[in-house]
Structure 1
Amino acid sequence: MKRSSIFAAALAASSLLGIGAQAQDSTVTITWQMWGAPNDTQLWQQLADLVTRQYPDIKVELQLSGWTDYWTRLPVLAASGQVADIISMQSMRMPNFYSLLEPLDDYVKDGGVEVADFETSIMAGLSYDGRLYALPYDVGPWMVFYNRDKFAAAGLKEPAKDWTFDDFKAAAKALTKDGTYGYGTQAFDFIAGPIALGAEYFNADNQFDLTNPGFVEAFGKYVDLTAKDKLSPVFASAADASAASGRFASGNVAMYIDGPWTLLTAQANADFEIGTAPLPRGNDRSRFITAGSGWGISATSQHKDAAFKALQVLTGPKAAEILGSAGRALPARLAEQTYWYDVAAKSVSGTRDTLQYMFAHTTPFRINEKWNQFENLVMQYVPVALTGDTEPKAVLADIQNQLP
C-alpha cells in the first residue's frame, strides 16, 4: 500500500507537471525588430506589453537597434534565417524589402481591420505592386519650418497654406541679412520640393526620368536659391546633408524643410517661436508626398497568425494614443492624431491646419527598387550644383546614368 501510494502521488505530480508544461508551451513568443535610440526602449516595450495584456498567450520580445544598424543588419538576418516575426518597415524602403514580408490583404480582410481608419497615403506607401505588406503607425509630409520671430522682425506676413515658390523665394530674400540665411537647404528638398511644384521624376513605366524638362526646371529652382541667389548655405557632403535643422535651431537660417517627426525636437532646441507651412506650390494646385513607417510579418515566420494579432495591437488605437501622447509619432490612425497635436504641436500655432491641408493635397510617393540608390546619389551630387560648378541638368544626367 505504501509503495502504491507513493507511485500514485508521483503519477499525480507528473500529470500536474505535464499540464504545466503544456500551458507554458502554449505561450508563443513573437520577436519584433525595431529601430530607435536607447531612450526609446521603454516606449516600445510599453507597446509590446499591450499585446500580452490583450493576448496573455502571446509574448513580444523587442529587438532594438539604431536606425543605420537596423537597415544594415536586416538583409543579413534575412539571409541567415534569423529575421524576426514582426519586421519594422519604412515606406521609402518598401521596394527593397517587400519580399521579406507576408502580404497582409487577406489578414486585414479576415481580421476586420478598418482600412479607412488610417491615412490613405501611408497605406499606399506600405504597399507594393497593389499588395499591402505592413500596417502603419506614423505618417507625415515634408513641410516648411520657419522662425516666426524673424518673420515678424522682417515685417513679413506668415505663409499662406497655398503660397507659391515666388512667395517662398521672396521671404527667403527678405530674411537673408545680418549673417542669417533665409533658408537652409538639405538633400531631400530636391525631391519633395520639385514634386510640390508639379514635377515628376518617374516616367509612365515607373522608371527614373530625371532629365525631363519639368523636373530639370523645378530642381533648378531649388538649386538657384543657393547657387545664384545665395539665400542658403551649401551642405558639403552626404554627412552634412541634414545640417539645416541645427542651423535653424541656432538661428542661422530662418526656414528649412523637414517632417512632423522632428517637431518636438525642434521645439526643444530652439529659443524662438516656430511656425509651420506647406511646401510652396508651382503654378497649379498644391501637392505633397508623405512617408511613414509600420510593421509587417516576416514571410518566414512560424507564428504568422499570432504575429498578426500582435500587429493589430501595435497599430491599434491604444498604441497610437501612446505614441501620439509621447510626441513620438504623428499617428497614421486618423482619430488618434489629436493626441500628437495636443503634445508635439501644442505651442506651434497652426500646425494642425497645415498638416490637414497637406493631407488633403497628397500625391502618390512614387518609388521603385532603385529608390535608396537614387536618394544616396542626390546627397552625393547635389552639392556640386549648389556651388555653381555644374549646371543642374548635368548633375541630374550624372545621377540618371548611375541608375541602370
Structure 2
Amino acid sequence: MKLTTVLAAAFLASSAFIATVQAQEQVNLTWQMWGDEKDAPLWQSLADLVTAEYPNITVTPQISGWTDYWTRLPVLASSGQIADLVAMQSMRMPSFYSILEPLDAHFASDGFDVSAFETSIIAGLGHDGTQYALPYDVGPWLVYYNRDRFAEAGVAEPALDWTFDDFKAAAQKLTEGENYGYAVQAFDFVAGPVALGAEYFNDSNQFDVTNAGYAAAVGKFVDLVAVDKTSPVFASGAGAITGSGRFAAGNAAMYIDGPWVLQQTKDSVDFNIGVAPLPRGEGESRFITAGSGWGISATSQHKEEAYKALQVLTGPKAAEILASAGRALPGRLAEQKFWYDVAAKDVAGTHEVLDYMFAHSTPFRLNEYWNEFENLITQYMPLALNGDSTTDAVLADIQNQLPF
C-alpha cells in the first residue's frame, strides 16, 4: 500500500475521532424554575434523567420563589443572563413568548408529536399559532370542599353541574360565627365569572371588564362576601395562600384552586376533602384550564442540546416522577394515571370531576396585558368586598388602568 494512501486513511480516521470527541463535548445547561427548597431534589431527579439519556449533557436547576421568579425573569432576559431552559406558565406566555425559541422547526426535524399532551395546555403554551414550550402539568380551577362540614350541616355534596345558586346556598348554610362557608380569593373573579358564562374580553381580544355580563358575574361573587358574609375579605395584594390557609385550618368549608395543590392540601388537613367543578350559570358548564412547562431561551448557545433536554424533562418518565410525587397532574395524557393513583387517592370523585371539566373547557383568553389585569384584580377587588366601593366602580377603575 502506498504511503500516501496510508497517511490519507490515518488522516480520515483521526478526523472522525476528533469529530466524535467534539460531538461529545460536555455541555452544561442551566434551567430556571420556581419552587421551594423542598422541591429541589425532585427537579434534580428530572435533570439526572437528561444526563442518563445524554451523558454529555448536564442540567443545573436554578430555583427561586414564585414572586421572585417573575420579577427577575425580564431582568435576566434583558441582561443576557437568562438560563438555557426556562419555566413558563401558560397565563404569562403572551408577555414572555419573545424570550423563547420557537419549537415548531425542532418538531419538524424529528417528527415530534404533541398529540400525547392535553390539547388545552399545548395551546396555552403557544402564541399566535407557534409553540414556545412543552407542558409538565395542566388543570382547571375547581372547588375544594370540606366533606365533614358538609355532612355536619346536612348539605348535599356538589353535583357535577351544580349552579351558582347551589353554591351560594351551601356557602350560606355552612357559615356560622367565625366559620365561613367559603374563602374568596382574587382569581375567583376570573375563573368564577367565566364558569358563569361571562367574558372579560371583547371580540378584538381587548379587555372589556365593564361589560354587563362580566360585571353581573363578578357581582355575584362580591355579594357572597359583602352582602351574605359567607367569606372573609382577602387583603389587597394577597395570594392564594390566604384561602388555602383558611381551608386547611377548618375555618372555611370551600375555596377555589387547581389540582396542582391537591396533594399538599390533602396532607395539610385533618378532615375529609372533596373536589367539585366551579358552579355554572344558566347555561352549560365551562371552565378555563392552565398549566406550566419549559421552553428554550431564544439566546441559548446550546439550543440543540436544550431541545434534547426539553424532550426528556417533559417526557413520559419525567411525567411519571412528577405525578407519583403528587407534584403535577401531567400534561401528558398517558401519565395522568400516576397522579390519580397518588395525589387523588382517598379524594372521591376526582377523576370524574376532572374528566367532566376537561370535557367542558373553554379557551383561556389572554393577551400581553394579562399580568396587569390580574394584579389590578388582586389590588382593587377588596374595595368592593368590604363595602368601600361598588363592583361597577372597581371594575371601571381597573378598566381605566388597562391599555386599550
Same fold by TM-score greater than 0.5: yes
C-alpha separation between the residues in 1 aligned to 2:151 and 2:397?
A: 42
Q: Is the 8 A contact 1:235 1:241 kept in 2?
A: no
Q: Normalising to structure 2: TM-score of the pair?
A: 0.93
Shift of 1:24: 9.2
Alignment match, 2:33: 34
Q: Is the 8 A contact 2:142 2:276 kept in 1?
A: yes
Alignment match, 1:86: 85
Aligned length: 388
Alignment match, 2:156: 157
Shift of 1:85: 1.1
Alignment match, 1:297: 296
Is 1:136 aligned with 2:135? yes
C-alpha separation between the residues in 1 aligned to 2:277 and 2:199?
A: 19
Alignment match, 1:194: 193
Alignment match, 1:377: 376
Structure 1 unmatched ranges of 5 or more = 1-14
C-alpha separation between the residues in 2 aligned to 1:191 and 1:240?
A: 14
C-alpha separation between the residues in 2 aligned to 1:74 and 1:184?
A: 31
Residue 365 of structure 1 aligns to a residue whose secondary structure is coil
> What letter is aligned with 2:341?
D
Alignment match, 2:269: 270
Q: Is the 8 A contact 2:145 2:274 kept in 1?
A: yes
Shift of 1:19: 6.7
Residue 335 of structure 1 aligns to a residue whose secondary structure is coil
Alignment match, 1:10: none
Alignment match, 1:175: 174
C-alpha separation between the residues in 1 aligned to 2:257 and 2:138?
A: 13
Residue 82 of structure 2 aligns to a residue whose secondary structure is coil
C-alpha separation between the residues in 1 aligned to 2:104 and 2:280?
A: 35
C-alpha separation between the residues in 2 aligned to 1:39 and 1:177?
A: 37
Query: Could you list the per-position Cα deviations for residues 258-304 of structure 1 after superposition, in whole angstroms to 9, with x for gaps in the alignment?
Result: 11111111111111000000000011111101111001011111211
C-alpha separation between the residues in 1 aligned to 2:325 and 2:22?
A: 36
C-alpha separation between the residues in 2 aligned to 1:20 and 1:214?
A: 64
Structure 2 unmatched ranges of 5 or more = 1-13
CA RMSD of aligned residues (A): 1.7
Structure 1 residues 20 and 65, CA gap change in structure 2 (3 angstroms): farther
Alignment match, 2:6: none
Q: Normalising to structure 1: TM-score of the pair?
A: 0.93
Mapping for residues 206-355 of structure 1, pairs under 5 Å: 206-239=205-238, 242-355=241-354
> What letter is aligned with 1:381?
Y
Moved over 6 A (4+): 18-21
C-alpha separation between the residues in 2 aligned to 1:312 and 1:240?
A: 32
Structure 1 residues 123 and 298, CA gap change in structure 2 (3 angstroms): same
Residue 262 of structure 1 aligns to a residue whose secondary structure is helix
Q: State the identity as a percent.
A: 69
Q: Give the stretch that moved more between structures: 211-220 or 106-115.
A: 106-115
Residue 352 of structure 1 aligns to a residue whose secondary structure is helix
Shift of 1:383: 0.4
Query: Could you list the per-position Cα deviations for residues 17-44 of structure 1 after superposition, in whole angstroms to 9, with x for gaps in the alignment?
Result: x979946972222221111111111111
Alignment match, 1:6: none
Alignment match, 1:368: 367
Query: Could you list the per-position Cα deviations for residues 187-242 of structure 1 after superposition, in whole angstroms to 9, with x for gaps in the alignment?
Result: 00001000000000001111100011100110100000001111111112213664
Structure 1 residues 236 and 63, CA gap change in structure 2 (3 angstroms): closer
